[in-house]
Amino acid sequence: MGLGLPFVVVAVAYRRALGAFGWVKRHYVWVMRAGGGMLVALGVLLLTGVWDTMMGSMQTWAQGFNVGI
């Protein structure tokens, strides 16, 4: 059951996932533009060094976080 459970979940969720993929297919141009815009924004952040500053702040903020498992 342990290894088979993910496959059962995927089989049950398959029908719902098809609806989501249909939405992406209908709005493909806008999805691609949004993805390209995010890549350009990330590239600008990397080139200017802002990305490193943001990641340093996030590492400091998340330093005391522990997983409860």
- Segments making up each domain of the chain, as ranges: 26-56
- Going from the C-alpha of 54 to that of each of 23, 32, 40, the distances in angstroms are 33, 26, 17
Q: Is the dihedral of CA 18, 20, 24, 27 positive or negative?
A: positive
* pLDDT surpassing 80 at residue 41: yes
Q: What is the pLDDT of residue 1?
A: 65
In the structure encoding, which two tokens stand for residue 63, read together? 């330093």
Mean pLDDT of the region 38-46: 97
Q: Give yes or no for a contact between 51 and 45, defined as CB atoms under 8 angstroms apart.
A: yes
In the structure encoding, which two tokens stand for residue 11, read together? 């089989």
Between 17 and 46, where is the model more confident? Answer: 46
Q: What is the pLDDT of residue 8?
A: 87
